[in-house]
Chains A and B, each alone.
Chain A
Amino acid sequence: MSIKRIVRPGDLIAILLSLAVTAGSAVYAYAGGQPAEVYIRNPNHEWTYPLSEDRRVSVSGPLGETTVLVDGDTARIVDSPCRDKICIRMGSLSASGDWSACLPNGVFVQVRGAAGQEIDALAY
């Protein structure tokens, strides 16, 4: 009985792919820290994006659309339908744990896993 009978080409691809994913995750998990991510949540869903990729994210809530801009390894809320715009004044997020939120519109934004930043947490 040859190996070719037990394991078909399609299976081999599946196995190699799984091993590659495992190896890839291991590099992320053990190589001194996760890559930085932006975590965004509205009342119904949550999303995670890499902090290193520029994008503009529109998140809907009960009042309308809150816009999160990811740009130059930082994230910030740039527009929101709330009255006081406190979420915009909270400025740009770059260190792990930094957050901003539009409470009236139910949107929460946080930077996570940014290893190697200047601080681990901000006292304010």
Chain B
Amino acid sequence: MLLRSLRAALVLLTAVIAASSCNGGGAPQTRTEFVFGTPCWITVPGRVSAGVLDSVFTRMQELDSMMSLHNESGPLLDLASNAGVRPVFVTPELFHVIEHGIEFSAATGGAFDLTVGPLVALWGIGTDLARIPSDDEIARALSLIDYRDVLILEEQRQVALERAGMQVDLGGIAKGYGADIAADMLRANGVASALVSFGGNIYALGEKEDGTAWRIGIQHPGKARGDLVAVIPVRDRAVVTSGTYERYFVRDGRRYHHILDTTTGYPVRNGIESVTIVAASSMAADALSTGVFALGLDAGMALVDLYDGVEAVVVTDERLVYATDGVGDDMTIVDPSYVRGDYRGRAQDEPSEGGR
């Protein structure tokens, strides 16, 4: 009897040791969920508990509900339906995000504008309804875009849109805000090294476990997803890219991409193919990647140079790669047909805006 138990115990013990070792502390773990309208993944060291990732993704789903225009009972649609009528109460968190949205709109002179909603809805880029709107439709949508007409009632924690038809669209900062929150939660849980990608919106937390920097690739604007134009080493920074290749439709051989010019109402056409911003805040990187793109090379880089700790990489349709000093020194261009440009050395009267 004793012998049989001993034998059973020995076999069982070995099997248990083997089974538990298979989930060994060494291998990193990746969790992917669909949120913010895109697959989002987070990679953490193997020893981090699954519960940490559970709580991060739960929080991300909450943020998605808060900021999504697809949420029929969500606060942004409530705000839009009361535009020109009355202010609405919002949660402290949404209030905070909207305030930041207004700040970035002001900083970029409206090139990034959180009230771009009616124009985005009109073009429908990325949906089945994508089309080229008429001049009248575009004019009407443009008349509804002005971040200065978002009224903030600080004490009451209410927001109002001044004119009927206005709509706040947080699509340009939602993933960035989410990534900042995710990074904060990971840090609060003692995670010192992690990689977050929310649909290509990257947060590289800390450095890799071997002490080297995270290697972040910048998508090649002209080739398939996964092909690179450049690689930058990054430690504890957000990396966000806006590019003409992400969402677009083609009509009569012309590409209409999703980064809309808030003054003309058409996709921005200034020779820029992509802007990558590196910053400590993913929300700032998200907003600035759109804003700098729309501002164009000269005004865009001038804005980036005003911010301490914000760096940019701009790729143009002339196969030039411009980079600010903080990232340029370590950047490797991996497509030999692209060369470094010097945005400070450009002649003052050189055109930086292309025709439409």
Contacts and interface: CB of A to CB of B under 8 A. Distances in A.
Contact of B24 (A6, A29, A120): A29
B39 A91 contact: no
A83 to B, nearest CB: 8
15 contacts: A14-B11, A15-B14, A22-B17, A22-B21, A25-B21, A34-B28, A39-B32, A99-B41, A121-B214, A122-B226, A123-B201, A123-B239, A123-B240, A123-B241, A124-B219
B219 A123 contact: yes
A100 interface: yes
Interface residues on A, range: 35 or more
Contacts of B215: 118-120
B3 A15 contact: no
Given A6-B7, A7-B7, A120 B14 contact: no
A70 interface: no
Contacts of A112: 30
Interface of A: 1, 5-8, 11, 14-15, 18-19, 21-22, 25-26, 28-30, 33-34, 39, 83, 89-101, 108, 110, 112-113, 118-124
B318 interface: no
Nearest to B313: A123
Q: Is the interface of A mostly helix, strand, loop or mixed?
A: mixed
A6 B227 contact: no
Interface hub of A39, A92, A97, A98 (most chain B Cβ within 10 A): A97
Interface residues on B, range: 35 or more
A8 B17 CA distance: 20
B323 interface: no
Contacts of B28: 34, 113
Contacts of A7: 7, 10
B66 to A, nearest CB: 22
A1 B334 CA distance: 70
A5 B39 CA distance: 56
B200 A123 contact: yes
Given A11-B10, A29-B27, A124-B200, A100 B225 contact: yes
Interface in B27-62: 27-28, 30, 32, 34, 39, 41, 43, 46
A95 B7 contact: no
Nearest to B24: A29
B273 to A, nearest CB: 12
Interface string B236-252: 00011101011000000
Given A6-B6, A91-B225, A113-B28, 15 more contacts: A11-B7, A19-B14, A19-B18, A28-B27, A34-B28, A89-B224, A96-B43, A97-B41, A99-B41, A101-B39, A122-B202, A122-B219, A123-B216, A123-B241, A123-B276
Contacts of B6: 6
Contacts of B214: 120-121
A90 to B, nearest CB: 5
A81 to B, nearest CB: 15
Nearest to B34: A108
A22 to B, nearest CB: 4
A114 B217 CA distance: 15
Contacts of A92: 224, 226
Contact of A26 (B3, B24, B202, B204): B24
Nearest to A8: B7
Nearest to A28: B27
Contacts of B223: 91
Nearest to A34: B27
A67 to B, nearest CB: 18
Q: Which 9 A-B pairs have the closest CB atoms?
A: A91-B224, A124-B219, A119-B217, A124-B200, A18-B18, A22-B18, A29-B26, A29-B24, A18-B14
A123 B27 contact: no
A21 B226 contact: no
A108 to B, nearest CB: 6
A25 B24 contact: yes
B208 interface: yes
A31 B351 CA distance: 54
A1 B3 CA distance: 10
B216 A121 contact: yes
Given A25-B22, A101-B39, A119-B231, A124 B3 contact: no
A11 B41 CA distance: 42
Given A15-B14, A121-B197, A124-B219, A108 B27 contact: no
A112 B197 CA distance: 13
